[in-house]
Amino acid sequence: MPPRCLQLANINPNFINMEYAVRGPLDIRAGEIEKELERGVKMPFDQVIRVNIGDCHAMGQQPVTFLRQLLTLTFEPRLLYSPDYPEDVKKRARLILDNCQGHSVGSYTDSAGLEVVRRQVAAFIERRDGGVPSDWQNIYLTGGSSPGIKSIVSLIHCQLDGKTPGVMVPIPQYPLYSGAITEYGMVKVDYYLEEETGWSLNRKELQRSFDECQQHCNPRALVVINPGNPTGQVLTRDNIVEIIKFAHDNQLLLLADEVYQDNVYDKNSKFYSFKKVMHEMGEPYSSQELVSFHSTSKGYLGECGIRGGYMEVMNLCPKVKAMLTKSITAALCSTTAGQVAVSALVNPPQPGEPSYERFISENNATLAALKERAELVYNALSGFEGYKVNPIQGAMYVFPQIEIPPKAIAAAKAKNMDPDVFYASELLETSGICIVPGSGFGQKPGTYHFRSTILPQTDKLKLMMEKFRVFHAEFMKKYK
């Protein structure tokens, strides 16, 4: 065979350096184990429990009837004449179809998305933020939050004074950020969340990170994930104020990843949008450049596969915003199914409408079940030897710190593995539970963590935690 034109030595090296821990080697091995179980290979367990990915429906969460009916009617308009669908859903479906070219969701939309849905998003933001104005022309509909985030990271990729651009990200962080930053040949600038104070954010730590990184890069943007992934914390309003002041004082674009805004379980915690807090702070902070992101993949919808999301850009230079729009235009538009899902997220049934009672019942049941599981996981892991666990205030994850015995660290080193990867690998091979090692998200040197979702249905989650307890006890006994 002649030499291939594409080889590792002649492709973009950023692709080689890029990593995405959530779908890393352990996820691949979990898939191999599943196939082995299907072939009848004997294992110490009968199923793989994937708690490495925040995929709600894969873990048994049921779809919201209202959303699926809206999707059905927009994709099969002949059903608009069926008596089996409520009138409020039909009304919304007709509105969307009337705004599609050829009255079909099979047509392209404007690059930023259907105007009617963008207007619905703006109205949703205004309601959420107590009347703070939102301009629909600042809304871009995206295929989940990820393409929006990557489009902004790409936008700021520009060398200044001979320095590579940097993006400040929280550690622990969601690997989308490290992956995108590496893919674009930029510098990830770490700032550490304070595990000891419930994963809070300290301005002194932000300043330390900012000052130190300027020796080798030019920091351009600050990422904040609230509620946190993988840490599950919900930022206080005071914390948000400090972050906004820091971004303003250091001329940083603020990227607010707020996709878990509906996932708040702690009675003493509340979601505050960065936009609302900025507005309430007044000038000069209300003029801070901000991009916020939301998604249909989380919250009570949990529709990861439909790929719906939006971003709102605030206070961008109009000429820069025009360049962002031009870049997005090259991708034509996000999927129309995702745009319909965004419409369902931001324009749900209201009291008095036919779909309301069922919608609110399903919504409340989903969020109540997640709250129950958050408490279940926290209580279970808190009883494990050598574990430190912060309460799960929001989002869908737990990120405990584990004390790995020196004997296990030595065994990991012998296999050329990080200790937390070794722990997670042993867990998978022994119990069929697939988690993500903390090193995939970043952690303070000398500490070890892992991320697990709280998404399995309660019965399966209880089974999983018991398997986990048995594994951990035996692991500690073996390596102590």
pLDDT tens digits, 90-109: 999 999 999 999 999 888 88
Residues 448/420, Cβ–Cβ less than 8 Å: yes
pLDDT at 304: 84
Q: Where are the domains of the chain?
A: 8-60+367-479, 97-346
Q: Domain 8-60+367-479 belongs to what architecture?
A: Alpha-Beta Complex (3.90)
Alpha carbon distance 282, 327 (integer Å): 32
Task: Give the model's confidence band at 300: pLDDT under 50 very low, under 70 low, under 90 confident, else very high.
Answer: confident
CATH code assigned to 97-346: 3.40.640.10
The residue length of the chain stands at: 480
- The CB-based long-range contact list for 180-185 (8 Å cut-off, 24+ gap) reads 180/149, 180/150, 180/153, 180/154, 181/153, 182/14, 182/17, 182/18, 182/19, 183/14, 183/15, 183/18, 183/150, 184/14, 184/153, 184/154, 184/157, 185/14, 185/157
pLDDT average, residue stretch 266-287: 94
Residues 264/232, Cβ–Cβ less than 8 Å: no
Q: Structure tokens of 216?
A: 């080798």
Task: Give the model's confidence band at 294: pLDDT under 50 very low, under 70 low, under 90 confident, else very high.
Answer: very high
Residues 149/121, Cβ–Cβ less than 8 Å: no
pLDDT average, residue stretch 306-332: 88
Alpha carbon distance 317, 251 (integer Å): 14
Alpha carbon distance 233, 390 (integer Å): 8
- Closest-CA residue to 240 (of 276, 267, 264): 276
Helix, strand, coil proportions of the chain in percent (round to 5)?
50, 15, 40
Mean pLDDT of the chain, nearest integer? 89
Residues 39/62, Cβ–Cβ less than 8 Å: no
Rg of the chain in Å (alpha carbons): 23
- H or E element, residue 362: helix 356-382
Alpha carbon distance 172, 443 (integer Å): 6
DSSP-assigned letter for residue 8: G
Task: Give the model's confidence band at 237: pLDDT under 50 very low, under 70 low, under 90 confident, else very high.
Answer: very high
Q: Is the pLDDT of residue 200 over 70?
A: yes
Q: Structure tokens of 409?
A: 């660290």
Those residues with Cβ within 8 angstroms of residue 22's Cβ, 6 or more apart along the chain or in another chain: 52, 53, 175, 436, 440
pLDDT at 88: 96
Q: Is the pLDDT of residue 124 over 90?
A: yes
pLDDT average, residue stretch 210-235: 90
Residues 47/37, Cβ–Cβ less than 8 Å: yes
Summarised one tens digit per residue, pLDDT across range 36-90 is 888 888 888 888 888 888 788 888 889 999 999 999 999 999 999 999 999 999 9
The burial of 321, by beta-carbon neighbours within 10 Å (0-12 exposed, 13-18 middle, 19 or more buried), is given as middle
Distance spanning both ends of the chain, measured CA to CA: 53
Sign of the dihedral through C-alpha 56, 198, 475, 462: negative
Q: Which residue has the tokens 């392209």?
A: 108
DSSP-assigned letter for residue 287: G
- Closest-CA residue to 74 (of 136, 117, 111): 117
